[in-house]
Structure 1
Amino acid sequence: MNHGWIPVSPCGPECQPPRDRRAEVGLARVVLRLGSTAGLLLIGCVLVLVLSMLRAAWRQRAMTAWFRTLLRALGIRLVIEGRMPPGGALVVSNHVSWLDIVALQVLRPMRMLAKVEVQSWPLLGALAGRVGTVYIDRDRLSALPDAVRTIADELRAGAVIGAFPEGTTWCGRASGRFRPAVFQAAIDAGARMQPVALRFRTAAGEPTTAAAFLGDATLVDSVLAVARMRGLAVELVVLPELIGTDRRELASRAQRAVEASTGSACGHGDPVEVRMRRSIAA
């Protein structure tokens, strides 16, 4: 059952550029990337079983190395601007792709806030559960207060929690409104609030929506599309820490800071522009 409060993104295939085979790697490279990714996922399943036996510092290093290697296996270059201070925090970011989670884990191993559907993803769902993902049932409005309390408890214990306040993926050129609930958890816990902006660029350094995970695309479709791209880069920009006690104001400030860094605009733009993109894609 859907509710009016559930975030909905109008972004779809029309937001993405037409497929350009000149900007893609060859079939052999695609096969190599997919094979390497599958192998890393299997290694990850073993890794999560031994993480609990490692000291915290070694555990973080192992997770960071695994996620960084996953990006490299897919041919993705990671650029990080700024540094996160040590200690627990609520990390909030814009949401474009499943790659967002991978990149953020390189920045700092963190427990992610995710929709319950992630549990059913092949291998990735199992890995997410093993590393302590906090799940949200978006179809049950009554579950939201308990979710906020759970997040606040984790933050009080010193955890780093990653969340996407937009609640769903957008193309990156357009963006969604940041919902304030997760900020309330940080306020209740007295935790630090750290916004981070995510940007995707082509080999030429131009912004791109090609990596966005949108519409009816499956995870397999998205992984295959990413594996074909030549020179894809994901950039993480650590923005100034947020301070305040009004969750709505904090959500708005975080949203504006991310939009300023990514060059995106809240909403889906002018309908004429959307129709033009559709005609180009066709």
Structure 2
Amino acid sequence: MNPWSVEAPCTPDCVGDTTPRVPLTESARRYAALAHTLIRSVAMGERLADPRALRGQSRAVLDALGVRLETGPPEREPTSGALIVANHISWLDAVALLAVQPVTVLAKREVGQWPVVGTLARRIGTRFIDRGAVRELPHTVAELADLLRSGRSVLVFPQATTWCTVAGGRFRRAAFQAAVDAGAPVRPMTVDYLQGGLPSTVAAFLGGDDFTTSLRRVTAARGLSVRVTAHPELRGTDRRTLAAAAGAAVCGTRPPAHTAPRVPA
């Protein structure tokens, strides 16, 4: 099985928005604010990679979209050179995490081809992987280990694809080998989306979705917030154990959104 490529059962049918949408005038205002923020980010050039600038611009993107950022108090100051692992629901996940702790991001190669977003991703030093190229796996793990040894923290999404809820898929072990090889800590992070204080799937970016459709849903969402929760760091010498512990920390006791595939009667 390809450790980078996963087919999730989630589809756009999993997306639900039970709250009334914002008026078209507000949605248009958000589009304009987002465009202004992205233009300003592009104009910053290489300065965008500075941690303070990256955190500020990430928060500006969330503000432009009308998404409120919520963070819990960290147990202690995060260690540099840590493998940051989080659940994966939306393209907004990386924006929210960068707004909290600017790091190097590991993303699928397709992101680098998105208009504007791909340019900005390259500017901040994002590392891209081809999820269908199994032969690249050892090289990718070695590159991640080198980044961790250099003191740079790296963000990966071990669920390997997007799901409609936090507990969507198990954590794949491949990226954890980089932390083992580098002797680096693993920092689990949970990303939740809420509307009116209740769990929401409106931000989910799922199979069959395109970026434009997903962006339209987010800009029209009323009262959307993203909550980023940091968990205690993990250390170990076995990637299987680290992956299981990180998955348990991120997902907690939440039931998975999908069980075994349905069998036709």
Aligned length: 260
Which consecutive residues of structure 1, in runs of 5 or more, have no partner in the other structure? 53-58, 276-282
Q: 1:132 aligns with which of 125, 129, 144?
A: 125
TM-score, normalised with respect to structure 2: 0.93
Structure with greater helix percent: 1
Indicate the residue corresponding to 1:12 in structure 2.
11
SS of the counterpart of 1:23?
Answer: coil
Instruction: Please name the residue that 2:114 is paired with.
Output: 121
2:218 corresponds to 1:222 = no
- The verdict on how the C-alpha distance between 1:186 and 1:130 changes in structure 2, with shifts beyond 3 A counting, is same
- Aligned-pair identity in percent equals 42
Deviation of 1:231 after TM superposition, in Å, equals 0.7
Answer whether contact 2:41 2:48 (CA < 8 A) is retained.
no
Q: Among 252, 255, 259, which residue is 1:269 paired with?
A: 259
What is the aligned partner in structure 2 of residue 46 from structure 1? 43
SS in 1 for 2:69: strand
Match for residue 159 of structure 1? 152
Query: Aligned match of 1:106 in 99, 103, 108?
Result: 99
- Cα distance in 2, alignment partners of residues 173 and 50 from structure 1: 33
Q: Higher mean Cα deviation, 42-51 or 89-98?
A: 42-51
User: Map of 1:23-102 to 2, 5 A cutoff?
Assistant: 23-51=20-48, 59-83=50-74, 84-102=77-95
Paired with 1:194 and 1:37, the residues of 2 have a C-alpha distance of 30
TM-score of the aligned structures, taking structure 1 as reference length: 0.87
State the Cα distance separating 1:101 from its structure 2 match. Answer: 0.4
Structure 1 pair 15/173, CA: closer, same or farther in 2 (3 Å)? farther
Q: Is the 8 A contact 1:172 1:264 kept in 2?
A: no
RMSD: 1.8
For 1:279, the equivalent position in structure 2 comes to none
Gaps of 5+ in 2: none
Give the drift of 1:23: 2.1
Partner of 1:280: none
